[in-house]
Amino acid sequence: MKISIRRRLTFSFLLTVILSIVTAGLISNYMIDGRFNQYLKQTHENKIQKVVKIAEELYDSSEGFEGIDPFEMKRYAVLEDIYIEIQDADGSIAFSSGQGHLVHKKRMGNMMGHMMGRRMMERIGEYIEEKHPLYHNNSKIGTIHIGYYGDWNLSEGDVGFKNTLNRAFGLSVGIALLFGFIISIILSRQMTTPLVKIIKAANEMKNGNLGIRAEVPTSTLEIEQLANSIDYLAETLQQQEMIRKRLTSDMAHEIRTPLTTLQSHIEAMMDGIWDPTTERFKSCHEEVLRLKKMVDSLQDLAKLEQSGQQVNKSTFDLSLLLDRIVESFQVQAQKKNIRMLSHIAPNFTVHMDPDKLKQIMYNLLSNAYKYSDENSSIEVALTHDKNNIILTVRDEGAGIEVKDLPYIFERFYRGDISRSRETGGAGIGLAIVRGLVEAHNGKITVESVKGKGSCFRIYFPIEMLVSKKES
């Protein structure tokens, strides 16, 4: 049987409070009760010794116990709730207080026992009588019998105090348990209410509402992190859903256009409207190549994912590799009179995958060329700081809209649809670049201003730099 986390937390907190309070209460009660009993025992023993001493002081060498004032001794016995009987050396009773007052105490104890419970009757106890010898000048002069009820002749005040103490402990435990129960409910509610909201948001996401957000005000760090993770997941899924829908529309359009062109050309030639000339076959061939280019791009991305972005590292001169790439783009750049600027620090020997570095650079430079106007410039730079090798590709092209910047590295995302159709891109080039960079434990960032150009920076760990010799 499944139970809610709120009930589980409430029961757990309450059980912990109960065990703690009961344990502390029992230990405290045991220690205080034991200490109080020790005090009562010592007080009783002192009382007995005092009675013995009084009896010895009442003895007179000439008169014996004849001089005892019966009234004073009886009053003392009643006051102390004890029976006193003094016998001389011959065994004759010199004084007896009688037990009438003790019988009265017993009756009162029984009555209070019926009113306050069995524990009060147990406190009164059974009748006990002690016998102590009496001495005068180290000679035995007689015997004193001292009788009382209970182990230590507890008075009604003593019994009442002990009962009050026990009731106080019981009341304290009860109040503490009540507070513990209330606090456990409050704490469990504070912890579970945000979780319930997060679960509700997750269920909304499961049902397709990706616009939901787990807005959970909480002071608990872990719950806040969980809520932020749910929000990030919802936002990411929402973005992916948007990209997926856009991809479906874009790919349908991209595939439909060349297929429609091929269909109309072939049907025209089949119906005899057009003659199958070389130019018309060439036009059909261009459309086929356009379709093949899109398929090849998809295959490149699939291969990248299937290979797990594995890299085959080797040691080579990164500066020399970049110089060659820039030089190879010079011819293409001249078609639009674009200046290729190189700020590449020399003699960077690195341990990386040269083929994937070429693929990264060709993708970035191809994008820079496609979206750059005539008579502009493209810059390639290589430098480093204490933590990273920094590779920069900057252009003065059309730039990227601010709203598109967070998504440009997502597969199949294309910001300007009309421009992308003109250039024929499928929207996966930058996704491949990011995958290759991350395969080298690096990261890529972009800064762009619409109409002024873009700047891509790649950061590779400095550990990949084998050496750098200044020329």
Burial string for 178-204 (b: 16+ CB within 10 Å, else e) reads: eebeeebeeebeebbebbebbeebeeb
Percent of the chain with pLDDT over 90: 19
In CATH, what number does 221-306 get?
Answer: 1.10.287.130
Pairing between β-strand 377-384 and β-strand 339-344 as defined by DSSP bridges: parallel
Decide: 240 and 407 in contact? Cβ < 8 Å: no
pLDDT for 389 beyond 90? yes
Position 192 scores a pLDDT of 76
- Of 407, 315, 297, 400, nearest to 357 by C-alpha is 315
Residue-wise pLDDT for 61-86, tens only, equals: 777 887 778 888 888 888 888 888 98
Position 390 scores a pLDDT of 96
Q: How many CA atoms lie within 13 Å of 243's alpha carbon, on the beta-carbon side?
A: 21
Decide: 428 and 440 in contact? Cβ < 8 Å: no
Q: How far apart are CA 170 and CA 174, in angstroms?
A: 6
Q: How far apart are CA 415 and CA 370, in angstroms?
A: 14
Mean pLDDT across 419-439:
69
pLDDT for 169 beyond 80? no
Q: Which residues pair with 444 in a beta bridge?
A: 458
Position 116 scores a pLDDT of 45
Which residue shows structure tokens 């004073």? 72
Position 342 scores a pLDDT of 93
- Of 139, 210, 160, 136, nearest to 40 by C-alpha is 160
- Of 391, 393, 394, 380, nearest to 465 by C-alpha is 391
Q: Could you tell me which residue, 227 or 411, shows the higher pLDDT?
A: 227
Q: What are phi and psi of 425, to 5 degrees?
A: -75, 150
Q: Which residues pair with 461 in a beta bridge?
A: 388
Where are the extended beta strands (E) located within 345-412? 348-352, 377-384, 388-395
The boundaries of every CATH 1.10.287.130 domain in the chain are 221-306
Decide: 432 and 420 in contact? Cβ < 8 Å: no
Residue-wise pLDDT for 287-323, tens only, equals: 888 888 777 766 766 665 555 557 789 999 999 999 9
How far are the Cα atoms of 287, 296, 301, 311, 465 from residue 244, in angstroms, in the given order? 25, 19, 16, 29, 39
Residue-wise pLDDT for 213-260, tens only, equals: 877 777 777 777 888 888 888 888 887 777 677 667 767 777 787 888
Average pLDDT value over all residues in the chain: 80
Q: How far apart are CA 469 and CA 121, in angstroms?
A: 101
Tokens of residue 311, six digits:
């890299």
- The class (CATH top level) of 5-177 is alpha beta
Count the neighbouring beta carbons within 10 Å of the beta carbon of residue 445: 10
pLDDT for 54 beyond 50? yes
Position 424 scores a pLDDT of 46
Position 412 scores a pLDDT of 59
Residue-wise pLDDT for 130-167, tens only, equals: 899 998 888 888 999 988 877 666 666 666 777 777 78
Where are the extended beta strands (E) located within 21-123? 83-88, 93-96
The boundaries of every CATH 3.30.565.10 domain in the chain are 314-468
Mean pLDDT across 115-141:
72
Mean pLDDT across 421-448:
78
Q: Could you tell me which residue, 411 or 178, shows the higher pLDDT?
A: 178
pLDDT for 420 beyond 50? no
DSSP type of residue 145: E
DSSP per residue, 204-252: HHHTT-TT-------S-HHHHHHHHHHHHHHHHHHHHHHHHHHHHHHHH
The topology (CATH level 3) of 314-468 is: Heat Shock Protein 90 (3.30.565)
Residue-wise pLDDT for 440-451, tens only, equals: 999 999 999 988
Angle at 84 between CA 81 and CA 90, to 5 degrees: 175
The answer to whether the pTM exceeds 0.85 is no
Lowest mean pLDDT among 34-43, 50-59, 104-113, 282-291: 104-113
- What pLDDT band is residue 344 in, cutting at 50, 70 and 90? very high
